[in-house]
Amino acid sequence: MKHFLPLSPHIPANFFIPMKKAYLFLSLLFISFALLAQEVKPVKNVIMMIPDGTSIGVYSAARWFKYYNGMENKLHIDPYLSGTVSTFSSNAPIGDSAPTGSTYATGVLQQVGNVGIHPTVSDNDLFPVDANRTYQPAANILEASRIEKNKAVGLVVTCEFPHATPADFSAHHYNRGNYKVLAPQIAYQNIDVVFAGGNKILTDDIKNHFANNGTTLIQDDKEALLHYNGNGKVWALFDEKSMPYNIDKDLDKMPSLAEMTEKALEVLSKKPNGFFLMVEGSHVDWAAHANDPATMIDEFLAFDEAVGKVMEFAEKDGNTAVVIASDHGNSGFSIGSRNCSGSSKLSLEQLFGNVSKYKMSTVALESVLMDTKPEKIKETFKEYTDIDLTDEELETLLSSKNYKESDYTQVGTSNNLAYNIGKILNAKTCFGFTTGSHTGEEVLLASYHPQGDILKGNVKNTELNRYLQKVTGLEISLEELSDRIFAKHDKVFLGMNYTIDKKDKDFPVLKVKKGKNTLEVRAFSSVAKLNGKPFDIGSVVIYIDKNDTFYLPVGLVEKL
């Protein structure tokens, strides 16, 4: 027999949850109240940094890797480590980057695949989900910084710009993979700085919008980015979709994450009201999916270099707060595995000697070998890994079921060429992996505040967002902002004559008529038309096909 416990007076009287969930909910509520009681002085600039999919083992491996290769075994992040974050989805302890990053951005727990949106109710919800808000876009800290505090805002990532984490902080949809509607949202957010991959994702509409709002677009030109000294909005995109792994990148032609971060700080710090910046080391996660330890370590060290730039800026500026946390773990990575006996006797050379010789990622080596004649594969493999392939290993490579896995999350588990390369490389190391997927352990937290009001201890992902709200100095909550800028169209235009034009099914248009006035609002845009004349709405309008609803600012009705 199930026992039920009534909740707080703010929850409807007919709303009950099973006893186990009640205990979880009350625990979260207690911790949240403790965080709300914490004094946090607002600052001018707020920076959130996310090493995507980075488990604690990667930190340890990165330190030892540096030490083995003649560097100090310290990381730039080390002095600021302050606790851990429990990160999860609304209905699962193990999350993916869409819901977990979205919770950092919005404070709302979400389901797998969700980007900045209230989830549906499920039988497995870990904490209560408000069914009345299902599919409502959840305002994020970037939007609030821009709209409520008039701050400049920026995104710096190494993946394509509509990928999960950057979209978490700048877009809203139930499907993280729908770039067709995520990309224009990010463009119409009128963000001051976006440095990322994704040239192929740009559309003519996005380019026209950049021309109309004065955004400088830099494409595949590192020097133009590094020498940019303008005061307007600037996007710099590299490669067709994601930028390459740092280990594979031609740094003469493409900027490092640290270089992009440093330039973003330079541009944003010119803004009088301060800024919010999100920086993601996107590819630690991808390398973890591929079970590629050399690339994981290199990607994290590239991220840590960006941390160094940020902390140097923050400490010098004296009015900047920084929060650093991965969005989830990945791959169960360990230093030591069942393949290596006597692990406690293994030397630094035995653990880090071979991996230090690998010169490219497994996916890059895959591309090289695909263009290599079979009789030359052993020679080529030796050149990039210092490994002499056996005849059996060569046969494994040649018999790969498919030469290339298109889904980066499956590289470490399907019988593709990169997977088999990884198997061979990992057989020469003592690193272990339990999976090629995400994992549910808590992640490390680092925090900096000029007055010492840091986020510390073990916190939930929702609490991290509350801290961001407090340190930004928001006078209203993100929930209140959501209700103001993401109201249902049938409520905003109650009693008026409106229709939804679906000639373009991807970008429907809401048409509202009152007297002689006609308002036209296009989905996933921040530009509407009143009697044919365009004007800026101030926030992005979202359309959800599942409930045939536009979500838009309540103030739009005043235009009619």
Asked if 27 and 42 count as a contact pair (C-beta separation under 8 A), the reply is no
Within a domain: residue 351?
no
pTM assigned to the model: 0.91
Q: pLDDT tens for residues 50-100?
A: 999 999 999 999 999 999 999 999 999 999 999 999 999 999 999 999 999
What value does the mean pLDDT of the chain take? 92
Q: Give the rounded distance of the alpha carbon of 327 from its chain centre.
A: 8
Residue 303 sits in the same domain as residue 205: yes
- Partnered with residue 513 across adjacent β-strands are 497, 518
pLDDT band with cut points at 50, 70 and 90 for residue 255: very high
Number of domains forming the structure of the chain: 3
The band of 4, judged by pLDDT with boundaries at 50, 70 and 90, is very low
193 and 52 in a single domain? The answer is: yes
> In the listed set 428, 456, 474, which residue is the last one of a domain according to the structure?
428
343 within domain boundaries: no
pLDDT over threshold 90, residue 242:
yes
Cβ(2)–Cβ(123) below 8 Å: no
411 and 552, same domain (yes or no)? no
For residue range 222-231, what is the model confidence (pLDDT) as tens digits?
999 999 999 9
Residue 36 confidence (pLDDT) above 80: no
Over residues 454-475, the pLDDT tens digits come to 999 999 999 999 999 999 999 9
Q: Which pLDDT value is given to residue 258? A: 98
- The mean pLDDT value for 101-113 works out to 97
Q: Is 50 exceeded by the pLDDT of residue 6?
A: no
Q: Are residues 444 and 517 in the same domain?
A: no
The answer to whether residue 527 scores a pLDDT higher than 90 is: yes
Residue 478 shares a structural domain with residue 494: no
Per-residue pLDDT tens over the stretch 483-520: 999 999 999 999 999 999 999 999 999 999 999 999 99
408 has a pLDDT exceeding 50: no
Q: Which of 384, 404, 428 is the last residue of a domain?
A: 428
- List CB contacts of 193: < 8 A, sequence separation 6 or more: 152, 153, 154, 155, 156, 233, 234, 235, 264, 267, 268, 277
Tokens 């192929």, located at residue: 200
Q: Are residues 278 and 374 in the same domain?
A: no
Question: What's the rounded mean pLDDT across residues 528-549?
Answer: 98
Note whether residue 370 is domain-resident. Answer: yes
Task: Tell me which DSSP letter residue 416 carries.
Answer: B
Whether pLDDT at 298 is above 60: yes
Whole-angstrom Cα distance, residue 523 to residue 520? 10
pLDDT at residue 47, as a whole number: 98
Same domain, 264 and 368: no
Question: Looking at the predicted structure, is the pLDDT value of residue 366 above 80?
Answer: yes
Share of the chain above pLDDT 90, in %: 88
Q: Is the pLDDT of residue 33 over 80?
A: no
Q: Does 247 map to a domain?
A: yes
Catalogue the E-assigned strands of 299-357. 320-325, 329-330, 334-335
Assigned domain for 455 exists? yes
Residue 335 vs residues 304, 342, 479, 520: alpha-carbon distances, Å? 20, 13, 42, 58
Rounded to the nearest angstrom, the gap between the alpha carbon of residue 549 and the centroid of all alpha carbons in its chain is 26
How much is the pLDDT for 37?
64
CA atoms within 13 A on the CB side of 92: 16
Label residue 165 by pLDDT band (50, 70, 90): very high
Span 235-258, average pLDDT: 97
Q: Please tell me whether residues 146 and 217 are part of one structural domain.
A: yes
Residue 98 shares a structural domain with residue 172: yes
pLDDT of residue 343: 86
Q: Which residues form the domain of 54?
A: 38-332+437-483
| d(C-alpha 269, C-alpha 229), whole Å | 12
In a domain, 2, yes or no: no
Quickly state the pLDDT bin for 400 (edges 50, 70, 90).
Answer: confident
The pLDDT of residue 339 is: 83
- In this structure, the answer to whether residues 321 and 388 fall within a common structural domain is no
The answer to whether residues 525 and 184 touch, using CB atoms and an 8 Å cutoff, is: yes
pLDDT of residue 403 exceeding 70 = no
Task: Let me know whether 397 and 413 are in one domain.
Answer: yes
Residue 11, pLDDT score: 38
Q: Residue 514: which CATH number?
A: 3.30.457.10
155, 255: one domain: yes
Q: pLDDT tens digit string along 379-390? A: 999 999 999 999
Tell me what percent of the residues of the chain surpass a pLDDT of 70.
91
126 within some domain:
yes
The pLDDT of residue 447 is above 90: yes
Residue 10 above 80 pLDDT?
A: no
**pLDDT greater than 60 at residue 18:** no
Residue 30, classified by CB atoms within 10 Å of its CB into exposed (0-12), middle (13-18) or buried (19+), is exposed
Residue 502 lies in a domain: yes
Identify which has the larger pLDDT, 341 or 268. 268
- Out of 310-314, 397-401, 456-460, pick the least confident: 397-401
* 146, two tokens: 């821009």
